[in-house]
A and B are shown apart, each in its own frame.
Chain A
Amino acid sequence: MTKEIRLRQKRKYGERFREIKEFLRVYRKNRLGMLGLSLIIIYVIIALLAPYITPYDPFERVADPFLPPNPEHIFGTDELGRDIFSLTIYGTRISLFVGILATLLSAFIGSAVGIVSGYFGGLVDDLLMRITDLFLIIPGIPFLIVLSVILGSNIWNIITVIAIISWPSTARLVRSETLSLKTRTFIEAAKLAGATDTYILFRHILVNVLPLISASIILTITRAIILEAGLSFLGLGDPTKISWGTMLYFADRYGAMFSTNPYYIIIPGIALSILGLAFVFVSYAIDEIVNPRLKTRRLR
């Protein structure tokens, strides 16, 4: 038993996170990537600490409508007299929440379809890939609008709808990687050892496509956040929640641009752009490290 324990401990502390550490070491040298990552971390902290940062309750009227920026309200107030700064801070929560959850859902569907399709091939592959193609060629925004009109504007529906249009690209990516993994001899060796298909899928294929999936997740998050803002801006967002998209929708509707407080439209816009940019920086950096053609130095 002591031997077993010794092995466990070596595994646990010795080298478990070696690959991740190595990845971080290279990543740290990428300035753009670090900038993006810091921005994302700041956004996440803001989202988590929103109630402590905001000076006012974002759902309360705290002043006159359309006040220009002043010492009490640094970005002024909206059409109902709510504090723009507090609204924007709370908006971070919804944007991140929708973005991350929709992405996880789409990554889950995409990976499952991609792995099964690539591994089993034949009729299963044909069927799944035609379905994937179908979703891939549907024009995203119009489809989103139709779906959210049918399903109704609540935050869970928005997440589902975004996931539905985002999964096909992940599925394609994962399938092609699975196809190449499938021909490696260690898969055949596993079959010889008596492994079932399910075992091979999880223990051999999935662990090897996981880095690819995580890289694609970063890109999908950006898309999901922008899509959520787009939907909300079109008035299809969840009206009971504050997101940057709904803020822009109301700002537009009440003519904020030409009112006494144009910051109503500028501030959520900037918040959205910076977050989107941050994710793009991170995905570029990861791509540079992971993509063998762009790799400046070998990771392994």
Chain B
Amino acid sequence: METPVLEVNNLKKYFAVSKGLLYSILFKRVDYVKAVDGISFDIKEKEIFVLAGETGCGKTTTGKVVLGLYKPTDGQVKYKGFDIFRIRRRQWRRIRHKLQMIYQDPYESLNPRQRVFDIISEPLRLNKLYKSKDELYDRVMKVMEDVKLVPPEDFMIRYPHELSGGQRQRVAIARAIVTNPDFIVADEPVSMLDASLRASILNLLLEFREKLGVTYLYITHDLATARYVGDRMAIMYLGQIVEMGNIDDLIENPQHPYTQALISSIPVPDPEYTRRKRRIRLEGEPPTPINPPSGCRFHPRCPYRMDICEKEEPTYVDVKDGHIVKCWLHIKR
């Protein structure tokens, strides 16, 4: 079996909550937000792996740990077999530009005081990935044409505030792609864009997979765009993966009650269908990740709640070739 591009094993990331000096002296304890609490998954080469879930479930934190932006509390992240938190600094320097990120908000992710040329060429300049100024210029030119910022000469000298949202996102993508990365974390790359632009941006991502062999971790809460680009998907709830599998299978045959609720909430522009459809409404908000519920974390909101759900945490069950689910309903006792 080929080694996956990215291997995540039992990854945990807790953030300490600061409640002030007095609190910590009086109660002598630190609270943690368990943003990511023991997740594992593999991403194969040229695969688009979707991580979906509600706001605050730990999707983005996972993405950032995987890129080495946060140090994990526990667990491993392996990029092509190298544990990225254990290899030497110098070696990490050399491969760091192979892992890139596309951010959600193109208004925040570009320095307002840099020109487009400087923004896109920065990763090349910082890693000294060019031999001459000509080469630098040509590579920026080429990548700008690839993301369809044409004519490049006109865009190069502009500042971000002179561009539209879609153009900014293209600049951000160009910057991520310019170093020829193997792996890109795309954190809701189209959620801030007009619906009319989404498809063209998503197609760009697909195009780079074909042309450059890029592997993606696609983070989103929008299952419709996820299905458009994704190969496999994992559903996260309160820092844990509750269901994972082939994306079509997962959306057509959701096994976990939470996934079912998420999928039933996708709006379908067909009133006839909507009237017939049974929508699963979840009660309440997700609980705080500081003190997650005991047993199955979903049990307080679950419509199929059983006694055992509260007491014991379920294990993963393989329901159909690689489609795994973490729910007592599927565990035969």
Contacts from A to B (Cβ < 8 Å)? 1, 3-4, 6-7, 10-11, 14-15, 184-186, 188-195, 199, 204, 207-208, 300
Contact = CB atoms under 8 A, between A and B. Distances in A.
Contacts of A14: 157
B69 A185 contact: no
Interface stretch (B11-19, B105-113, B209-217): B105-113
B112 A194 contact: no
B161 interface: yes
Q: Tell which of A4, A7, A189, A195 has the most Cβ of chain B within 10 Å.
A: A189
A184 B97 contact: no
Given A193-B175, A195-B126, A207-B111, 14 more contacts: A3-B134, A3-B138, A4-B134, A7-B137, A186-B110, A189-B109, A189-B172, A191-B69, A192-B99, A193-B97, A193-B127, A194-B123, A208-B113, A300-B161
Contacts of A189: 101, 103, 109-110, 172, 175
Interface of B: 67, 69, 93, 96-97, 99-101, 103, 105, 108-113, 115, 117, 122-123, 126-127, 133-134, 137-138, 141, 153, 156-157, 161, 172, 175, 179
Nearest to B185: A192
A24 B172 CA distance: 31
Contacts of A195: 122, 126
Contact of A11 (B93, B111, B138, B157): B157
Contacts of B93: 194
A185 B156 contact: no
Contact of B133 (A4, A15, A199): A4
Contacts of B137: 3-4, 7
B270 to A, nearest CB: 37
Contacts of B134: 1, 3-4
Nearest to A6: B153
Contacts of A6: 153
15 contacts: A3-B138, A4-B137, A7-B153, A7-B157, A10-B153, A11-B157, A188-B69, A190-B111, A192-B100, A193-B123, A193-B126, A194-B93, A194-B97, A204-B111, A207-B113
A6 B117 CA distance: 13
Contacts of A300: 112, 161
B109 A185 contact: yes
Contacts of B133: 4
Contacts of A192: 67, 69, 96, 99-101
A204 B119 CA distance: 11
Nearest to B104: A185
B103 A194 contact: no
A282 to B, nearest CB: 23
Contact of A185 (B99, B105, B117, B161): B105
B122 A193 contact: yes
A201 to B, nearest CB: 13
Nearest to B97: A194
B67 A7 contact: no
Contact of B111 (A7, A15, A186, A194): A186
A195 B118 CA distance: 13
Nearest to A187: B111
Contacts of A207: 111, 113
Nearest to A193: B123
A218 B103 CA distance: 38
A90 to B, nearest CB: 41
B126 A199 contact: yes
A265 B39 CA distance: 79
A189 B117 CA distance: 16
Contacts of A193: 97, 122-123, 126-127, 175, 179
Contacts of B105: 185
Nearest to B123: A193
A208 B99 CA distance: 27
A15 B126 contact: no
Nearest to B118: A203
B205 to A, nearest CB: 17
When A and B form their complex, which 6 residue pairs have the shortest distance between CB atoms, in order from nearest?
Answer: A193-B123, A194-B126, A185-B109, A185-B108, A186-B111, A207-B113
Nearest to A2: B134
B61 to A, nearest CB: 13
A191 B64 CA distance: 12
Contacts of B108: 184-186
Contacts of A199: 126
A194 B127 contact: yes
A124 B151 CA distance: 47
Nearest to A196: B126
A10 B157 contact: yes
B118 to A, nearest CB: 9
A104 to B, nearest CB: 22
